[in-house]
Amino acid sequence: MADASNDLLDVTAEDFETAVIEESFRRPVLVDFWADWCGPCKMLMPVLASLVESYAGRFRLAKVNSDEQQGLAGQFGVRSLPTVMCFRHGQPVDQFMGVQPESAIRAMIDRHVERPSDRIREQAIAKLNAGDVDGAVADLRSAVENDPDHHALKIDLAEALLAAGDAAGAEAQLNMLPIDVHEQEPVKRLRARLVFASRANGADPAALESRLRDNESDPEAMEQLAAAYMVAGRSQEAMDLYLKLMQRHRSYGDNAGQKGLLAAFEMLGPRHELVNQYRRKMVALLY
pLDDT tens-digit profile of 241-284? 999 999 999 999 999 999 999 999 989 988 888 999 999 999 99
**Of these residues, 29, 30, 41, 174, which one is catalytic?**
41
Beta strands 60-65; 29-34: pairing state:
parallel
Asked which of 110, 131, 166 is the last residue of a domain, the reply is: 110
- 105 plus 150 within the same structural domain: no
Please give the pLDDT value at position 201. 84
- 136 plus 101 within the same structural domain: no
CB 211 within 8 A of CB 224: no
- pTM metric for this prediction: 0.61
Q: What is the mean pLDDT of residues 187-216?
A: 91
Whole-Å CA distances, 95 to 58, 142, 166, 218:
18, 32, 38, 53
pLDDT tens-digit profile of 194-206? 989 988 888 899 9
- How far is Cα 125 from Cα 120, in angstroms, rounded to an integer? 9
**Of these residues, 21, 38, 99, 181, which one is catalytic?**
38
pLDDT tens-digit profile of 65-86? 999 999 999 999 999 999 999 9
CB count in 10 Å sphere of residue 130: 10
**Residue at 162 is within a domain:** yes
- 88 plus 121 within the same structural domain: no
Model confidence at 5, in pLDDT bands (50, 70, 90)?
low
**Residue at 253 is within a domain:** yes
- 103 plus 133 within the same structural domain: no
**Residue at 190 is within a domain:** no
pLDDT above 90 as % of the chain? 74
Range of the domain at 42: 8-110
Does residue 86 have an active-site annotation?
Answer: no
- 20 plus 95 within the same structural domain: yes
Q: What is the mean pLDDT of residues 213-239?
A: 94
We report the CATH number of the domain holding residue 204 as 1.25.40.10
